[in-house]
A = this chain, B = another copy of it.
Amino acid sequence: MRIGELSRRSGVSVPTIKYYVREKMLPEGERTAANQVSYSEEHLRRLRLIRGLIDVGGLPVPAVREVLAEIDAPEPSTHRAVAAAHRGLTVLTGESTDQLREEARRTVESVFAERGWSPGEDNPGIPALVEALARMRLLGQDSFVDCVSRYAEAAEAIAEIDIDLLSRRTNVADAVENAVLGTVLGDVVIAALRRIAQEQVFNRHTEGDG
């Protein structure tokens, strides 16, 4: 198809498509005549992936570029692709105190021990978890921090579904894409479901406060 059709079908403007090509996020089209470049269904699929990560997942362009580079690598790694996506999502610019962070680290370690988890030190979830828990303590939300082990149990149930889905993929590049989307868009889905379930459970327990 011509670039105009690719733009129409993907909902991405022609200048933006050209930008993605320049940035090597999208492969060049095939030159079919002096002034004609043709794009395939693969290009459309890639554009949808890019927009899904950016629009729904909230991933910044540099993180998308890293994720795509991993998907396109000769030996793509799910772990590295998800780590790249997650680095892009991390918004931890502020700092809590060292003491609170040390305390949060101990809480995290005791949760890991309790649940029999032994994650790698480079798991991008660990610093995010430590910082968020330190902030929770700083904000007087000790009861939340004390419940982390229960939240961890629920998170493990989610991860079981994630890995079950992932294990159905036989193609490696497919599995990597699935893992990234399941993580980035999946976080949006889980946050949305949580919001809806909260209302349900809240109404079941109380009359509501307005």
Residues of A within 8 A of B (CB): 11, 45, 48-49, 51-52, 54-58, 75, 77-80, 82, 86, 89, 91-95, 112, 115, 117-120, 123-126, 128-129, 131-133, 135-136, 138-141, 143-144, 147-148, 150-168, 172, 175, 177-178, 181-183, 185-202, 205-206, 208-210
Q: How far is the CA of A86 from the CA of B193 in the complex (A)?
A: 12
Q: Which residues of chain B come closer than 8 Å to A58, judged between CB atoms?
A: 91
Q: Which residues of chain B come closer than 8 Å to A153, judged between CB atoms?
A: 157
Residue in contact with A78 in the complex, picked from B56, B82, B209, CB distance below 8 Å? B209
Q: How far is the CA of A93 from the CA of B157 in the complex (A)?
A: 30
Please state the number of chain copies in the assembly: 2
With A181-B141, A189-B133 already in contact, the answer to whether A162 and B198 are too (CB < 8 A) is yes
Interchain CB contact under 8 A, A147 and B129:
no
With A52-B135, A192-B132 already in contact, the answer to whether A161 and B181 are too (CB < 8 A) is no
Q: What are 25 A-B pairs at a CB distance below 8 A?
A: A48-B139, A49-B139, A52-B94, A52-B135, A54-B94, A56-B91, A56-B92, A56-B135, A117-B197, A117-B200, A128-B191, A132-B189, A139-B185, A141-B178, A141-B181, A143-B168, A144-B182, A144-B186, A152-B193, A153-B157, A155-B197, A156-B200, A159-B201, A163-B201, A190-B190
